[in-house]
Amino acid sequence: MTDLDSLKSELLTAAHAAPDLAALEALRVSGLGKKGRITQLMKGLGGLDPEARKAQGQALNLVKDALQSAIEARKAELEEVELERRLAEESLDVSLPARPREVGLVHPISQTMEELVAIFGEMGFTVAEGPHIEDDFHNFDALNIPPEHPARQEMDTFYFPEKPDGSRMVLRTHTSPVQVRTMQSTKPPIRVIAPGRTFRADHDATHSPMFHQVEGLVIDESTHMGHLKGTLIEFCRAYFGVDDLPVRFRPSYFPFTEPSAEVDIGCSKKGGQLVIGAGDDWLEILGCGMVNPKVLENCGIDSSKYQGFAFGMGIERIAMLKYGMPDLRPFYDSDIRWLRHYGFVPLETPSMVRGL
Ligand code: PHE
């Protein structure tokens, strides 16, 4: 066997046996690279006489070609093995059970607010917002509640420390200051609801120092008590999902509305079981009235031209009634077990809203 034959068989054996692509590349470099063994032999051809150069050149070319094809063949083999390995490794077992996915739930307060916005949104109301920390003017004076008025005491107001000028800011006791702000900044016609947080120093099973209200306000040149009644009857029926829900307007008093009314819905409370829409009992759910002309004037609206109505209700209260929740306090306890029981699946619109 010539030296060339043994070089050839050595290189081909190495090519066949190369364990991976890196080893194969190293072999290519050592044989065919710039300083490879075959390349070196090629370079040596120049020193031979023409006959020998031709014969040796052809022989070297054959070895070179044989090595190249051996490397190519082994490369294809190795790539195939690698592909098989990856396919096996990355395969999916579609029969495996899915991993449990933690889904958050919507708090009943948020859910109820969304329902309110959806119902009043259908009636053409937009949402207005205002600050939680208010001054006397927006929370009381503009709403026709002067300092000596008993309503100021009744509301169990949280006051901030006195300012140098003697005034004190308050945590708003109702969402009505938002109607003041809306009237100050918007030219009628106005049709807004203001859902949001409110604060009163009161705490038991049905009262919390922080709670939520929604206020509604409609002002234009011709809105009258009939519109107030129609809007609120329609709202009560849509919210509680009872088409023929009995709704009663009872004369009442609020400084900011005249005349004022409280709204009751028909229910039965027999055997400790509350059923809304049936029976001969009544449940109070909201306050309302025609906006007092004094309030319009306090907010810079001409009361000889404009009129309208306002209403306000507690969000916790209407949520508790609709969803049968006996106690208000767990609303703010952040107890995940309570939320799992009373929470709502996100993105799933309740049938009542979907039906609108
Ligand atoms: N602001 C009143 C309250 O908190 C509710 C209300 C609003 C009543 C608007 C009438 C009109 O009790």
Q: Indicate whether residue 317 lines ligand 1 (CB < 6 A).
A: no
pLDDT in tens, 208-219: 899 999 999 999
Q: Indicate whether residue 143 lines ligand 1 (CB < 6 A).
A: no
Q: Please, which pLDDT band fits residue 348 given cuts at 50, 70 and 90?
A: low
pLDDT in tens, 277-326: 988 899 999 999 999 999 999 999 999 999 999 999 999 999 999 988 88
Mean pLDDT for the chain overall: 90
**Contact, 191 vs 218, CB < 8 A?**
yes
**In this structure, which residue's CA is closest to atom 9 in ligand 1?**
311
pTM exceeds 0.75: no
- What CATH class does 108-348 carry? alpha beta
Domain positions in the chain are 2-89, 108-348
Q: Please, which pLDDT band fits residue 113 given cuts at 50, 70 and 90?
A: very high
Using the atom order of ligand 1, give the atom closest to the CA of residue 260.
10
For the chain, helix (H) and strand (E) counts, in that order, are: 13, 10
Q: Indicate whether residue 311 lines ligand 1 (CB < 6 A).
A: yes
**In this structure, which residue's CA is closest to atom 8 in ligand 1?**
287
Q: Indicate whether residue 176 lines ligand 1 (CB < 6 A).
A: yes
Distance set, CA 75 to CA 62, 72, 88, 133 (Å): 20, 5, 20, 75
Q: How far does residue 136's CA lie from ligand 1's centre (Å)? A: 16
Strands 247-254 and 257-268: antiparallel
Q: Indicate whether residue 344 lines ligand 1 (CB < 6 A).
A: no
Higher pLDDT, 219 or 82: 219
Q: Indicate whether residue 254 lines ligand 1 (CB < 6 A).
A: yes
Neighbouring C-beta atoms of residue 97, cutoff 10 Å: 5
pLDDT in tens, 47-64: 888 888 888 889 889 889
The rounded distance, in Å, linking the Cα atoms of 156 and 177 is: 16
